Structure 1
Amino acid sequence: MIRFSNFHSHIRQIPLSVPAHIRDEDVGRLEHSWFGPRFCSQKRNGVGLFVGGRSGLECLLHLHYAPEASVYVVEPDFFLRASLTGLFGTDPRVSIYESLDAFLAAAKDVETLDFVRIDDAYYPTVWTLIKHFKIKALTTEIPFSCSIYDISEQLRPHVSFLYLAHASGRGRGFDKPQPKIAVSVIVPAYGVAAQLPQCLDSLVEQTLERLEIIVVDDGSPDACGEIADSYAQKFPERVVVVHKANGGCASARNAGMAVARGQFIGFVDGDDWVTPDMYSDLYKMAVENAADVAQGGYCLAYEGGLIANSNDIYAGRDGLFKRSGIVDNPLSLLTGQPTIWRRIYAKELLTENKIIFPEHIKRFDDLPFQFEALSLARRIVTTAKDYYYYRQGRLGQDILAKDEKLFVHFDIFDYLKPRVTSRMRNDVIEQLMMVEVNTHIWALGRLDSNLVEDYKARAMRSLHDGYKMLAPKARRKIMEKVNTEIEKASRH
């Protein structure tokens, strides 16, 4: 709740002629930031406009915090206008008009409005105002039938600060310029020349206009580089190609992130493909809900054309989340299978927290990236709709490994544990321990039999020695599962 200096003395100035429900609503709106965190000009001598003066309380506060401001009020209601006239009297700082046309006629010399607040009943006037003035800060309620995303896309190019209150009770502020690129999609390409055209076709056909596709040719021995270049020539406004020496998938994704210009970043493996509406839907969800991460569902695509549901508990037709909306408990996502490609991530989230793919880890580098990004995201929004087609059974995929390659898990958690335990809460660290448990159980269920005992011994040491910062009770509860499940998995 916002606290204002001398707030109650301002409330007592409201004329008794103002209906009590309007006065009380204005008090509640201000205390609970209905129109966002800004309620007046950021300049002491700025120009403010209130379309719908209501009780006059907002104007009083505006003049209190910006005492040298000029305030214009448009109030079509005769009785409220009369109350406002009585409230402000002959104050030279305040001018009151019965209509927007009257205000426009009187304000011909005004070029910039430092602050504008538009009441819900007069929302359509916003389009007239942006034609006539440069507006620094605009706060307005939009009708229930309008989406925050659609209106923000239209208004952000014209306003430095925008806050949209929605009739549903939700609100969303925008304090940065509209990005030229909404989403950057990074496609690492190595040895997937046969599948890459299907992948890139699905991306150039995306319905999101402000999207860039960054194809990283990771020194591929086949024609991936030439295919990527051909798409860049055909779609120069949409496709960017990075050619580099082979360094592995992690280095390819990092190279893509280094040149990405988007507000959000997504990843698509070069042998997979997506639906045309994937990134427009995820971006809209992220904007509507002020989320750092937006997530969709996916399908499993088998050789021969068979498409199967992923049976994912976090998004999918039969999943835990059967709606679009904010995830109430983001920690519940941390123990899920690494699926970094089903999401978009705010670039700011990644850069501020130095989240990258560890290049010394040559496979399964998506596990540490996913854990860090999801655990540090302030808000995550998800939908059950399937967008991503995850190809199964291609020769050379890491998920098919059954040999010493799976010992890379110990490098992964050696990298991840100090990064997590040094800066995150114990409940996140407990989830990390569960992720490690699940990873080792999965590996033991796949490993060649001659490697099982060595892997099991290392797994038990890693789990026993790596989480001593946790409370004994929490560790004991997890280790009870470890002893049972690891023994069961190692007997496969």
Structure 2
Amino acid sequence: MKLLTIAVPCYNSEAYMEHCLETLLPGGEDVEILIIDDGSAKDRTPEIADEYAARHPGIVRVIHQENKGHGGAVNTGIDNARGLFFKVCDSDDWFDADAYQKVLETLRRIVHGSVMIDVLFSNYTYNKENRKVKNWTMHYEKFFPQDRPFGWNEVRHIDFTHYVLMHSIIYRTQLLRDVGLRLPEHTFYVDNIYAYEPFSMVHTMYYLNVNLYQYYIGRPDQSVNMDVMMGRLDQQLRVNYLMIDYLPQIRNIRGKQKDYMLHYLTIITAITSVLMIKTGDPELLRKKKELWQHLKQVDPHSYYWVRRGILGQGINLPGKGGRKVIIFCYRMAQKLFGFE
């Protein structure tokens, strides 16, 4: 069995996929690079994928499938992974070389040690083009113990400026299968589900304070581009509803594990809400209200947990004046942190 499977969803990725793959190859024989060609038809993505598999047998595998979207490609990766651990790397992103070797060394040590983990966290860096602040790293040393396995009882309070994205996560592959994770096909923003549902079965964790994942931001068609996000609010809303509908599955979870999952749900619901507020569209403002009502109907206890926090209160300030305050705070956060 391989130590780590890295799934690389590719859709018309000719312009950048080779850079991504070249940063993954130094993992050597311990690593399986699983390229999922998600129905690419406009460029040489399928041919490039096959060329890499031919040049690096035993390391690179390719699966060609009809287009299913990012979620469908990740599902295929989970289904076909041969690695003990599983990581997703989008084809326009890449790994830092030194951090990559430290991650692999850590995973080898864990596998041969006495305590198996469910998830390994590392940092990720935003690499932005044409911005005053080009690089900004999300790290977690304030919240997680470093360089050793730990449980939920050792996790410190995570503030509303931090949450763990897909880019930070390496799961134990069998955990993903045990939890039955299936991401929606042909839907954007499913990485939020990926970084949420599996934590219902996570018990033992490990944090390595290295900047492994290099997250590129700069293409105008990226899902995190603000204009694109505003045009896909229906999909952001769909993902948010799916996350809320998962709450009955975690009803019996207690303590910091439950708090973490509700913290993540709060962040995503706040993002969805502020995007709808920014439009000023009465129909979307109505849908925002319906979203919060749905949360209350599905799980009143979780609703009050989310609603009483600083984000839950702030995003629901009443009236036009409240909405202006929300938009002002969002713009200030954009300038401070450099996100969209």
Q: Residue 334 of structure 2 corresponds to which residue in structure 1? A: none
CA RMSD of aligned residues (A): 3.2
Gap regions ≥5 residues in structure 2: 332-340
Distance 2:281 2:259 in 1: 25
Partner of 1:477: 308
Give CA-to-partner distance per residue, 1:452-488, whole Å, 9 cap, x none: 5433332233223323430786465245344249733
Letter in 1 for 2:220: L
Structure 1 residues 252-331: aligned runs within 5 Å = 252-277=73-98, 278=100, 279-284=103-108, 286-287=110-111, 288=113, 289-303=115-129, 308-314=134-140, 320-321=143-144, 323-327=146-150, 328-329=154-155
User: Is 1:407 the equivalent of 2:234?
Assistant: yes
Provide the C-alpha distance between the structure 1 equivalents of 2:242 and 2:39, rounded to a whole number of angstroms.
26
Pairing 1:31-42 to 2, within 5 Å after superposition? none
The letter of the residue matching 2:147 is S
Tell whether the 8 Å contact from 1:444 to 1:455 is kept in structure 2 after alignment. Answer: no
Contact 2:124–2:168 under 8 Å retained in 1: yes
Counterpart AA for 1:455:
L
Q: Secondary structure at the match of 2:36?
A: strand
Residue type of the partner of 1:301? N
3-state DSSP class of the match of 1:198?
A: helix
Using the TM superposition, give the Cα deviation of residue 258 of structure 1 relative to its aligned residue in structure 2, in angstroms: 1.3
Give the deviation of 1:365 after TM superposition.
0.4
Mean Cα deviation higher: 214-223 or 467-476: 467-476
- Classify 1:388/1:201 alpha carbon distance in 2 versus 1 (closer, same or farther; 3 Å): same
**Does residue 1:212 correspond to 2:41, yes or no?**
no
Report SS of the residue matched to 2:120. strand
Distance 1:227 1:237 in 2: 17
Say if 1:286 and 1:293, in contact at 8 Å, map to a contact too: no
Q: Answer with 423-432 or 294-303: which moved more.
A: 423-432
1:388 counterpart = 2:213: yes
Q: 1:357 to 1:475 in 2, by over 3 A?
A: closer
Highest RCO, 1 vs 2 (Cα 8 Å, sep ≥ 6): 2
SS of aligned partner of 2:206: strand
Closer, same or farther: CA 304–198 of 1 in aligned 2, 3 Å: farther
Judging changes above 3 Å, is the alpha-carbon distance between structure 1 residues 334 and 403 closer, same or farther for their aligned structure 2 residues? closer
Secondary structure in 2 matching 1:182: strand
SS in 1 for 2:195: helix
1:441 aligned partner, one-letter code: A
Partner AA of 1:291 in structure 2:
I
Q: Residue 305 and residue 457 in structure 1: after superposition, are their counterparts in 2 closer, same or farther (change >3 A)?
A: closer
Tell me, yes or no, if the aligned pair for 1:195 and 1:270 is still in contact at 8 Å: yes
Aligned to 1:72: none
User: Which SS does the other structure have where 2:316 is aligned?
Assistant: helix
Amino acid at match of 1:351: R
Deviates more, 1:419-428 or 1:404-413: 419-428
Structure 2 counterpart of 1:80: none
Matched, 1:355 2:192: no
% identical aligned pairs: 21
Distance (whole Å) between structure 1 residues aligned to residue 261 and residue 293 of structure 2: 13
Find the partner of 1:439 among 231, 248, 268: 268
Q: Residue 112 of structure 1 aligns with which residue?
A: none
**Aligned residue number for residue 49 of structure 2:** 228
Alignment-derived partner of residue 16 in structure 2? 195
What are the ranges of 5 or more consecutive residues in structure 1 without an aligned counterpart?
Answer: 1-179
CA contact (8 A) 1:214 1:256 kept: yes
Residue deviations 1:371-412 (CA, integer Å, cap 9, x gap): 112342111111221111110111211111242302323211
**CA–CA distance in 2 between the matches of 1:307 and 1:384?**
22
Counterpart of 1:365? 190
The 2-side partners of 1:448 and 1:322 are apart by 37
SS in 1 for 2:35: strand
Secondary structure in 2 aligned to 1:403? Answer: helix
CA contact (8 A) 1:334 1:375 kept: no
Which protein is bigger by CA-based radius of gyration?
1
1:5-38: CA deviation from partner (whole Å, max 9, x where unpaired): xxxxxxxxxxxxxxxxxxxxxxxxxxxxxxxxxx
Distance in 2 between the 1:357 and 1:406 partners?
A: 18
Question: How far 1:282 moved relative to its partner?
Answer: 4.7
1:240 to 61, 67, 76: 61
Name whichever of 233-242 and 376-385 sits farther off.
376-385
How many Å separate the matches in 2 of 1:294 and 1:201?
Answer: 23
Q: Deviations over 1:307-331 (max 9, x none)?
A: 954342425xxx6558433452288
TM-score (norm 2): 0.78
Aligned length: 308
Contact kept, 8 Å, 2:124 with 2:167, in 1: the verdict is: no
Aligned partner letter, 2:308: K
The runs of at least 4 aligned residues of structure 1 exceeding 6 Å deviation read: 304-307
TM-score, reference length from structure 1: 0.56
In the TM superposition, what is the alpha-carbon distance from 1:246 to its structure 2 partner? 1.1
- Secondary structure of the structure 2 residue equivalent to 1:205: helix
Distance 1:189 1:473 in 2: 40
Does structure 2 conserve the Cα–Cα contact (< 8 Å) formed by 1:218 and 1:248?
A: yes
In 2, the alpha carbon distance for the partners of 1:264 and 1:472 equals: 34
Whole-Å Cα distance in 2 between the matches of residues 477 and 224 of structure 1? 48
Could you tell me how far 1:421 is from its partner in structure 2? 2.1
Contact 1:286/1:292, CA 8 A, preserved across alignment: no
Taking a change above 3 Å as real, the CA distance of residues 250 and 342 of structure 1, as seen in their structure-2 partners, is same
Deviation at 1:304, TM superposition (A): 7.2
Relative to structure 1, is the Cα distance of residues 378 and 419 closer, same or farther in structure 2, using a 3 angstrom cutoff?
same
Residue of structure 1 equivalent to 2:335: none
Residues 223-276 of structure 1 deviation map (CA, whole Å, 9 limit, x = unaligned): 111111110010011000011111101111111211111111111000111123
Offset at residue 449 of structure 1 (A): 4.8
What residue is the counterpart of 1:30 in the other structure?
none
